[in-house]
Structure 1
């Protein structure tokens, strides 16, 4: 499966489930994961079959639970926009009232701050472990 070039450039690999690529947005200001269905040429959620959509959303729910437990955040934002990147992808972002743009959106706010080597290892291990 080919990732959209923007997704590939802006994210780091986490794991692949039976139904989705899970990737970390390379911006350490927020714990922010993306899930991308494994199927080719999917642009909208309704492009998935009922079964594919159910399994994909189960992965989104799993990542959401893991992020909330791991970060103890106030809110988990889940969004599928597709205005800039047409390949279906779901953003799952841990938000808290002390984050850089609370309660505003994470999109277009400031400049991304890439992770330092090893900085996200604990989060990545926790997400990977949740899918085993």
Structure 2
């Protein structure tokens, strides 16, 4: 059975359509946002129906902290794979458009297209070329 169809997690179709599954951490599914302008991961806690961080148990919060540390290392590696220096990491939980609890981990650099503003709503996503996607996904999957 695909993880997308388990009782623990139903991925919002908008997240599924705009990202690439990388794998699983202790609490979260890790997905690569399909926007080559920004090395960008999305973490989805593997529990159905979550919309807020406050809905996580204390133990799940501890797992989320650990997953965020791993995701930080992963997004830095994705940035290296894409030859993008990292000036600052952005970690955010918005949910204004997609209510499903998800956390963005984005490697930013002071020469990226949206710097110093937020990446949301900035231009149109530029999907990875096949070669870029294969290289980044392979690298990240090997690290999980």
What is the CA-CA distance between 1:84 and the residue it aligns to?
A: 0.9
Counterpart in 2 of 1:109?
122
For residue 46 of structure 1, give the secondary structure of its aligned residue in structure 2: helix
Superposed CA offset, 1:31-89 (max 9, x none): 01100000111111110101012102211121112323553401110000111111000
C-alpha root-mean-square deviation of aligned residues, in Å?
1.4
Indicate yes or no: 2:62 matched with 1:54: yes
Give the counterpart of 1:89 among 86, 93, 102: 102
Written as runs of structure 1 = structure 2, the 5 A alignment for 1:1-132 is 1-71=9-79, 72-131=85-144
- CA–CA separation in structure 1 for the residues paired with 2:10 and 2:67: 19
- CA–CA separation in structure 1 for the residues paired with 2:114 and 2:140: 24
What TM-score, normalized by structure 2, do the two folds share?
Answer: 0.84
Query: Does the 8 Å CA contact 1:63/1:127 hold for their aligned counterparts?
Result: no
- CA–CA separation in structure 1 for the residues paired with 2:19 and 2:73: 20
What TM-score, normalized by structure 1, do the two folds share?
Answer: 0.91
Query: Does the 8 Å CA contact 1:68/1:75 hold for their aligned counterparts?
Result: no
Query: Does the 8 Å CA contact 2:42/2:105 hold for their aligned counterparts?
Result: yes
Q: Structure 1: which 5+ residue stretches go unaligned?
A: none
Q: How many residues align?
A: 131
